[in-house]
Structure formats: C-alpha cells, structure tokens
Structure 1
Amino acid sequence: MEVIFGLLLVAAYLLGSVSSAIIVCRIMGLGDPREAGSGNPGATNVLRIGGEKGKRAAGITLAGDMLKGVVPVLLAHALGFEPLWVILVGVAAFLGHLYPVFFQFKGGKGVATFIGVMLAVHFWAGLLVAATWLFIAKGLKISSLSALIASLLAPVYLYFLTGELSWVWLTLAMTLLLFWRHRSNIGRLVRGEETFKRSP
C-alpha cells in the first residue's frame, strides 16, 4: 500500500504540474499567459487577456485546474487511504500547480486547484469554500480577496464538519502557501489598489 501511495503522490504532483492556462491559451491561439496581463497562468489572467474568447478559455482553465485537485484525491479515497494520506495527495497536486516541474517551477497561485482539493477531500466543506469564493467575488468584485477569505475559512469548515485534524492542519498549510503566492495582491489590497481586473 505504501508503494501505491508513493506512486499516487508522484502522479498527483505531475498532474498538478500540467498548466491548464498555458495549454488552453496555446490551443485557442491566445499566446502565453505568462507573458501578458498579470503574467499569472491562471483563469483570471486568461479571462483578462482572452478578448472575445476570454470567458470560454477562462472557464476551461478553471475546470482543468480544479480537476487537477479533484482527480487524485478522489482516487486516494477510492483506494481506501487513511485521511492523512488523502490530504497529502491533495497537497502534492497543489504544490504541482504552484511549482510545476514542466514549467521551471513557475506556476499559478493555486486557487482553483485548492478548491478542487477541498471538494474531493470533503464535498460539503469544499462546497462551502467554493460558495464563499463566489459570494465575495460577486459582491466585492475582487478576485484575490475572495480567494484569500475562502482559503482562510477552509480549515474552519473542515474542523466543524469533520473534526479530522490532519485535514485541518494541512489545509492551513496550503492556505499559508496561497497567501504567500498572493503577497503582491495583499500589498495592493492594503494600499486600496486591487480590483477584480488586476487581481490574478
């Protein structure tokens, strides 16, 4: 079982390393998202640079990034791994997105993959995270702020819905990484300069 877990861990990281934004933009003729807009290979930047194709391209990117978190974690559940191992598979996929081996370890900010991991780890907690993101994004029109608040609440949701501390602590670790990846956005938020269009 340990060997299977090790293989799944590596597979999750490699799947996370596949950049949905770069692939979608190449297929749809939108150029490299790392060289336009905010330079972040994520759905929001794809929306920003995509023009008439932006909404469709961003939707596909968002779905692809979420699936990178969903698929390996669901597989871990299906194989009957203990909760700690399940969340570690999710962490591997999340790290793959942030630091992809296929793209010189320069990846996205991890919001969609994080939500995908949460949905697969515990559906109702993940649904609350996704709903929090959507509610704040719709209300305040600031993508980065909605992501930060949703990720900060994710460990809280898991604690009250599951009580599984390994999930809580490792989700908190992912949240801290997500905050680190959004440090430039946080700086703009503090200065009152962040908008939906500017937030990757």
Structure 2
Amino acid sequence: MMFLWLALAFVLGAIPWSLWVSRLRGVDLRAQGSGNLGATNVYRVMGFKVGLLVLLLDVGKGVLAVVLARQFAPGALAGWLPMFAGMLAVIGHVFTPFAGFKGGKGVATGLGIMIGLAPQVALCGFGVWVGTLLLGGWVSLASGLGALMVPISTVLLQSEMGERYASVLLVGVSMSLLILIRHRANWMRLAQGKEKAIWDKPSATKGTK
C-alpha cells in the first residue's frame, strides 16, 4: 500500500498542467517563450490569468500529494511517507513522463509540498520569493533565494517542527538543490546581464528566455 501512495504522488506531480492548459488554447508551450513547462512561461506567453491558473494547479498537486500520503500513512510511517511522497511529486513534475521527461523547474510544486509539510516554512520561502521578485523582477533569482530560505527557515524554526524536523529539513535541502540545478542556465544569464525580468515579454518563438 505504501508503494501505491508513493506511485500516486509521482503521477500527481507529473501532471503537466502548463502543457495541457496551453494545448487547450491551441499553443505548444514548448515552442513558445523560453520553452519551459512552468507557470512563468505560461504567464509570458498566455497572460496573467492563465499563468495564475497553472501556478495554482502546480501548487495544488504538491499539496495534494502530501495530504493524501499523510491521510493514509500507517502510524510508523506517518512522519516519513508524506516526505517521500512530496519528493516524488516534485521529481515527477521536473521529469514528467507525460512530456518526454522534460518538465518544469519544481518551484510551484515545491511550494505546494512545503505547504503540506510545514506551512510556516512555506510562508518564509514564499515571502522571500515575493520580496525578491518585487525588488529585482527576476523570477529565477526569486526562486533560487526562496528555495534557499526553505532549509534555513526549517533550522530556525526547529523548535516548532517537533518530530517533523528531520523529514522537513531533508525535503527542504533536496528540493532546494534540485531547484538551483534546474536554474543553472538562469544563473549564467544573470551573471552576463542577459536574464529577463518578469515584465519583459519574450519573443513569440522559443529561444528568448
């Protein structure tokens, strides 16, 4: 039964909402904007409302993966099964088999996972994301700093974590590393001064990040 819930978590995370929603509107997101299957590219290509919808769907699947695992986890695994489910959900999002194993960068789904595991940690990470985005306008930088804040805030809030501390910290460190690695091309463009801010619209065809 445990493996069933872990498999379900992976499948939930693997749902490529950005690709499917864009297809419903007659757009192949992989050939538009940055080509990335994430809410940011959806926003740039199809506008705020559609971008927000995809963002909420990606966050929601992360929350759902953790909540379902916690709901049905046996007592001995109650603290760890949600953690493993969360990690598999974000791996499913990043390497979705429904889109040739080329998914998003894991930020929105990662936020959903942390909301399910430790809302106070998720709030800290999201707060840093919002603040960085408002100050600089770079989603990549906001995502990287927000991801780094997750394990940092977990350590700072250790007394509030209780028995969840070890599992939340493990998820936080793992997801942060994955998100940072997935943004490696963005770090190169930031260093070169070529990274586009959120309000800079890319060209219609793939290639302008």
**1:120 paired residue number:** 116
Counterpart residue identity of residue 126, structure 1:
A
Query: Normalising by the residue count of structure 2, what TM-score does the alignment of the two structures yield?
Result: 0.87
Q: Which shifted more, 120-129 or 188-197?
A: 188-197
Say if 2:79 is the partner of 1:79.
no
1:6 to 3, 8, 12: 3
C-alpha contact (below 8 Å) 2:118/2:168 kept by paired residues: no
Note if 1:43 corresponds to 2:39. Answer: yes
Listed one character per residue, the Cα deviations across residues 138-158 of structure 1 (whole Å, up to 9, x for unaligned) are: 121010000000001101112
Q: Structure 2 residue aligned with 1:137, among 130, 133, 138?
A: 133
How far apart are 1:103 and its partner, in Å? 1.4
Task: Give ranges in structure 2 of 5+ residues lacking alignment.
Answer: 203-207
Q: Is 1:111 aligned to 2:107, yes or no?
A: yes
**Which runs of 4 or more aligned residues in structure 1 lie more than 4 Å from their structure 2 counterparts after TM superposition?**
none
* Higher-RCO chain (CA-CA 8 Å, sequence separation at least 6): 2
Q: Deviations over 1:127-171 (max 9, x none)?
A: 221121111111210100000000011011122222612321232
In the TM superposition, what whole-angstrom CA distance separates every residue of 1:57-112 from its partner, at most 9, and x where no partner exists?
A: 10111011101100010122223543222111100100000000111111111110
Identify the residue that residue 152 of structure 1 maps to in structure 2: 148
Equivalent position of 1:17 in the other structure: 14
Amino acid at match of 1:123: P
Q: Secondary structure at the match of 2:80?
A: helix
Alignment of 1:184-199 (within 5 A): 184-196=185-197, 197=200
User: Unpaired segments of 5 or more residues in structure 1?
Assistant: none
Q: Matched residues, percent identical?
A: 34
Structure 1 vs Structure 2 CA RMSD: 1.6
Letter in 1 for 2:171: L
* Counterpart code for 2:111: I
Stretch of structure 1 that moved more, 188-197 or 132-141: 188-197
State the secondary structure of the residue aligned to 1:38: coil
Distance 2:84 2:191 in 1: 33
Matched residue type, 1:19: P
Distance in 1 separating the partners of 2:112 and 2:57: 10
Amino acid at match of 2:66: V
Q: Distance in 1 between matches of 2:196 and 2:32?
A: 17
Letter in 1 for 2:166: L
- C-alpha distance in 2 between matches for 1:137 and 1:40: 19
Give the aligned partner of residue 63 of structure 2: 70
